[in-house]
């Protein structure tokens, strides 16, 4: 599943990294991290499981069109999301928002 969402995000044409990364990445870029798993138990087993993800979007210049493109890409590929507000990170001089999938 990681490869699937990772590869889907790479089609946007901006850098996509997974988890903790050590290389410098210029904005805008996306950071993908696992956020656990949602499970539906039934009859002493798991009826259904679903991996949860966080897609973090880092940027220095607000680009509403890119955000709409990210959101459309997620929805078109079956990923429902909740979107955070923009947060300014003083120590990195960038804005950050995330999509909980």
Where does 2-100 sit in CATH, by number?
Answer: 3.30.2000.30
Give helix 64-76 / helix 2-10 axis angle, nearest 10°: 140
CA dist., res. 49 & res. 35, Å (int): 13
Confidence class for position 2, pLDDT limits 50, 70, 90: low
Q: Give the per-residue pLDDT at 88.
A: 97
Q: Read off the pLDDT of residues 9-68 as tens digits, 9 standing for 90 and up.
A: 999 999 999 987 777 889 999 999 987 777 777 888 776 777 788 999 999 999 999 999
Residue 33 CA to its chain's centroid (Å): 7
Report whether the peptide linkage leading into residue 28 is cis, meaning its omega lies within 30 degrees of zero.
yes
CA nearest neighbour of 74 among 16, 7, 5, 14? 5
* Between 98 and 50, the higher pLDDT residue: 98
- Cα(93)–Cα(77) distance, rounded to whole angstroms? 32
**Predicted pLDDT of residue 42:** 80
- Prediction pTM value: 0.83
């Amino acid at each position: 599943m990681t490869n699937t969402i990772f590869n889907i995000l790479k089609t946007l044409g901006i850098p996509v990294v997974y988890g903790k990364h050590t290389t410098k990445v210029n904005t805008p870029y996306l950071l993908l991290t696992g956020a656990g798993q949602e499970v539906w138990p039934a009859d002493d087993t798991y009826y259904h499981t679903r991996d949860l993800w966080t897609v973090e979007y880092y940027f220095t210049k607000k680009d509403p069109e890119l955000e709409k493109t990210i959101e459309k890409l997620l929805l078109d590929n079956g990923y429902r999301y909740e979107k955070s507000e923009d947060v300014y990170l003083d120590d990195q001089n960038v804005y950050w928002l995330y999509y909980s999938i």
